[in-house]
């Protein structure tokens, strides 16, 4: 099969090596890497799942280049009010830069065909990063409809990437430049161990500031529920605060961010239909301190036994993972 790249899609400038569409993805990536050995590619597998659960963004693993830490950020339907695919690069350690210092680079973004030796390039020159501006990229690039027609979006997945073409300003810190990376971020609905409940007995005896559940492995990380009996931040003194926290990775898992659609619950022991639920979508970074709600369960409800949450000094806190991302080698 031959595709007329210039006529189809109105894609703009497309780098085409062959018009045939019978190449495997590993062959395409191998050929692409010959001229882009410093490029970092990420296959996002499960685009419909992102849309279904209203996930705004997903992220690649963090990698070192020019002595700094970077990651690729994919926006499903644009960033902000934009409706097309957007790609950004985020400098993970930008906050460590002195206030008067900026890093200036040229960026080269790609969307890779999954059938032919072709890719859609886009340059972002003179991209500067500092402690106040950690993300730069291409907003509102291309629509799903166009990418589907051009064999870029295949089997609910898209391969995107970028490379730093030139470090114009900023110390390289004497670190050799590594070759690029390839990975696949896959979305899983209802993963193994997607529900677990923490039964807390003798709740009134919990006097310390913070308490944690036993860890449970979901996806590629270990997780604990963290509670603050006396409340935290704006919940201090008025609410039970509850958070979900990642505490480590399973063996050989990459230190990638984990995207999840999750619900925290306080189980109602008198009426199953009256559980208190706190749903959210969040990306947990490698050093994440967790995510949750400081005013999860107000004391006025917690200590009213007729409300059904704290009965005979026992409370049940649960978590459900509706979707979680895993990152693997591509």
**pLDDT for residue 229 is more than 70:** yes
Q: How far apart are CA 92 and CA 299, in angstroms?
A: 38
Taking a C-beta distance cutoff of 8 angstroms, is the pair 223, 241 a contact?
Answer: no
Domains recognised in the chain with CATH numbers? 15-187 (2.60.210.10), 195-329 (2.60.210.10)
Q: How far apart are CA 10 and CA 190, in angstroms?
A: 38
Q: What is the pTM of this model?
A: 0.85
**pLDDT for residue 80 is more than 70:** no
Helix, strand or coil for residue 301? helix
Taking a C-beta distance cutoff of 8 angstroms, is the pair 262, 309 a contact?
Answer: no
Report pLDDT digits (tens) over 255-270: 889 999 999 999 999 9
Least trusted range by pLDDT, from 117-121, 158-162, 223-227: 117-121
Q: Who wins on pLDDT, 21 or 91? A: 91
What is the Cα 149 distance to its own chain's centre?
A: 27
What does the radius of gyration of the chain's CA atoms come to, in whole angstroms? 23
- Provide mean pLDDT across the span 111-122: 88
Q: State the burial class of residue 294 (Cβ atoms within 10 Å of its Cβ: 0-12, 13-18, 19+).
A: middle
Backbone torsions φ then ψ of 316, nearest 5 degrees: -115, 125
**pLDDT for residue 118 is more than 60:** yes
What is the Cα 241 distance to its own chain's centre?
A: 24
How is residue 92 written in tokens?
């993970």
Q: Who wins on pLDDT, 145 or 22? A: 145
> What's the pLDDT score for residue 100?
83
- Provide mean pLDDT across the span 75-89: 77
Taking a C-beta distance cutoff of 8 angstroms, is the pair 153, 45 a contact?
Answer: no
**pLDDT for residue 291 is more than 50:** yes
**pLDDT for residue 176 is more than 70:** no
**pLDDT for residue 5 is more than 60:** no
């Amino acid at each position: 099969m031959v595709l007329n790249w210039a006529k189809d899609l109105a894609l703009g400038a497309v780098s085409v090596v062959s018009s045939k569409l019978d190449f495997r993805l590993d062959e395409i990536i191998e050929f692409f890497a010959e001229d882009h050995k410093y490029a970092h590619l990420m296959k996002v597998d499960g685009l419909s799942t992102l849309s279904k659960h209203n996930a705004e963004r997903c992220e690649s693993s963090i990698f070192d280049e020019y002595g700094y830490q970077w990651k690729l950020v994919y926006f499903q339907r644009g960033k902000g009010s934009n409706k097309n695919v957007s790609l950004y690069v985020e400098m993970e350690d930008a906050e460590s830069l002195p206030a008067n210092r900026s890093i200036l680079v040229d960026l080269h973004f790609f969307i890779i065909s999954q059938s032919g030796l072709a890719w859609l390039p886009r340059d972002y020159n003179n991209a500067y990063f500092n402690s106040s501006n950690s993300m730069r990229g291409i907003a509102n690039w291309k629509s799903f409809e166009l990418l589907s027609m051009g064999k870029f979006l295949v089997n609910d997945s898209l391969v995107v990437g970028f490379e730093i073409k030139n470090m114009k300003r900023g110390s390289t810190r004497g670190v050799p430049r590594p070759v690029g990376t390839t990975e696949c971020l896959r979305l899983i609905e209802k993963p193994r161990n997607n529900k677990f409940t923490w039964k807390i007995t003798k709740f009134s005896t919990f006097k310390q500031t913070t308490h944690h559940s036993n860890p449970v492995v979901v996806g590629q990380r270990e997780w604990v529920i963290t509670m603050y009996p006396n409340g935290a931040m704006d919940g201090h003194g008025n609410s039970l605060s509850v958070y979900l926290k990642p505490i480590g990775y399973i063996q050989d898992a990459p230190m990638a961010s984990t995207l999840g659609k999750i619900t925290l619950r306080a189980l109602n022991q008198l009426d199953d239909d009256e559980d208190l639920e706190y749903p959210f979508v969040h990306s947990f970074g490698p050093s994440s301190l967790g995510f949750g709600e400081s005013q999860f369960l107000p004391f006025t409800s917690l200590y009213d036994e007729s409300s059904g949450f704290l009965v005979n000094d026992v409370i049940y806190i649960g978590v459900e993972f509706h979707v979680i991302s895993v990152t693997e080698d591509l």
